[in-house]
Amino acid sequence: MHGKLLPLASLYLVQGLPYGLQSSLLPILLRARGLSLTRVGLAKGLYAPWLFKLAWAPLVDRRGSPRTWLTLSTAALGLVCGLLAALPPNQASQDALPATVMGLLLLLNLGAAVQDVALDTLAVQLLDPAELGPGNTVQVVAYKLGAALAGGGLLVLWPTLSWPLVFVLLAATYWLAAALAWTAPALHQLPWPQPSEHTPHLQDLLAAPETLWTAGFVLTYKLGEQGAGSLFPLLLLDHGASAPELGLWNGLGAVACSITGSSLGGALLASLPCSAPSSPLPLLLLRSVLQLRLGGLACQTALLFYLDTPGAGVGPDTLLRGAALLSLCLQHFLGGLVTTATFTVMMHCSQLAPRALQATHYSLLATLELLGKLLMGALAGMLADGLGPHSCFTVFLVLSAVPLLDLSLAPSTLA
């Protein structure tokens, strides 16, 4: 199992780099340039290629091997980063990033989305049922670690780094990862898919056992969390926190808590007999943690209300600064627990689909999971500008209660 998990961990770490770059680093830089919350939120439209993974997932199922797709897409990401290094934005400009840079970031997401399909397909086909708990722990933890390094880590170091240097380092990392994807012995174990002219239809994917409920759950389980998580650090910036502080809090410290939560979730899942995701434990774990997450978000909302009172702020040596740090860390810790359990259920569901459909099936679930996150991540700023932060966080509280309702409707095979 270690021969499988080590290369998967390295590749999932690299896969998290674009997400951290654009979810943690880019919003803070854009807000620091004076852009509105709406414009910062709409910049998440760069993630659009991830929503079209179903367009090329059938190709990964039917043409070539996942290892080939993984190697080529990872090498292409290195090329895009090389171009970004050669085209730095004007640091003196107070406007948004240039159209050329935005276009290259869009290409970066396109390559990362193809890489995601190939790597997830490898994981689905490579891991045995008893390895799903540890495998998904590695997936979530390594991905978040990569996101933390590219997000908060770079934000903390940003004053000492230049744009070209950052992307030269990223390009070198991608090319090393491409070499690993091609040469890792464990990835040579999978047979090439049999060529097929049959194009899977949506009804074929939805007909797989447990798919309908799983699709509905993954679409809704992150709505409130993602909206609050993308907006709360920006509101702290408005209340006196500095960009480097937020990089340390939200990009490193809080993500470390998220990784701790994901690891704990994996340890709990590994305690299942044969690590069977169909046992009641994943849903019992989800129910308990979702209730705790809802309570934590209520406390975060109360803190936000208090920050708008006269004299309140998160400056140095204030009690509210510690409360804000604790709130960020708690929500990321609970979010990590939820994510590991959810991804284990997703992968188990895709393994129940016919092998010729597994890449497309998992891409469907992953696309819905991402759609839920992107939807609130992109609209959070617009909701805050239109409704005000207080009403916006009230909406997030309601949305965070929806997954608990979903769990009450879980199929008997899972409950």
One-letter amino acid identity for 399?
A: L
Q: pTM for this structure?
A: 0.67
Above pLDDT 90, what percent of the chain? Answer: 15
pLDDT-derived band at 237 (thresholds 50, 70, 90) equals: confident
pLDDT confidence of residue 177: 92
Pairwise CA distance, residues 122 & 128, whole Å: 12
pLDDT confidence of residue 279: 47
**Other CB atoms closer than 10 Å to residue 222's CB: what's the count?**
26
Average pLDDT across the chain, whole number: 80
pLDDT-derived band at 281 (thresholds 50, 70, 90) equals: low
Pairwise CA distance, residues 245 & 372, whole Å: 28
**Whether residue 277 has pLDDT greater than 60:** no
Nearest-10 crossing angle of helices 66-86, 163-183: 170
Asked if 66 and 191 count as a contact pair (C-beta separation under 8 A), the reply is no
**Mean pLDDT calculated for residue range 74-97:** 79
171-180, 325-334, 396-405 — which is least confidently predicted? Answer: 325-334
Is the Cα dihedral 228, 223, 102, 96 positive or negative? negative
**Mean pLDDT calculated for residue range 190-194:** 53
Domains of the chain: 2-408 (1.20.1250.20)
Q: DSSP state, 135?
A: H
Give the DSSP letter string of 340-371: HHHHHHHHHHHHTS-GGGHHHHHHHHHHHHHH
pLDDT confidence of residue 327: 87
Instruction: Give 224's contacts (C-beta < 8 A, 6+ positions apart).
Output: 297, 376, 395, 396, 397, 398, 399, 400, 401, 402
pLDDT confidence of residue 166: 81
Of residues 147, 173, 174, 171, the one with CA closest to residue 26? 147
**Mean pLDDT calculated for residue range 90-99:** 62
pLDDT confidence of residue 221: 93
Instruction: Give 291's contacts (C-beta < 8 A, 6+ positions apart).
Output: 404
pLDDT-derived band at 296 (thresholds 50, 70, 90) equals: very high
Predicted confidence (pLDDT) per residue in 20-37, tens digit = 787 777 777 677 667 777
**Whether residue 276 has pLDDT greater than 50:** no
pLDDT confidence of residue 193: 53
Pairwise CA distance, residues 355 & 349, whole Å: 12
Predicted confidence (pLDDT) per residue in 109-164, tens digit = 888 888 888 888 888 777 776 777 677 778 888 887 888 788 767 777 777 777 78
Q: How many CA atoms lie within 13 A of 232 on its CB side?
A: 31
Asked if 358 and 284 count as a contact pair (C-beta separation under 8 A), the reply is no
Phi, psi of 314 (to 5 degrees): -115, 40
Q: DSSP state, 246?
A: H
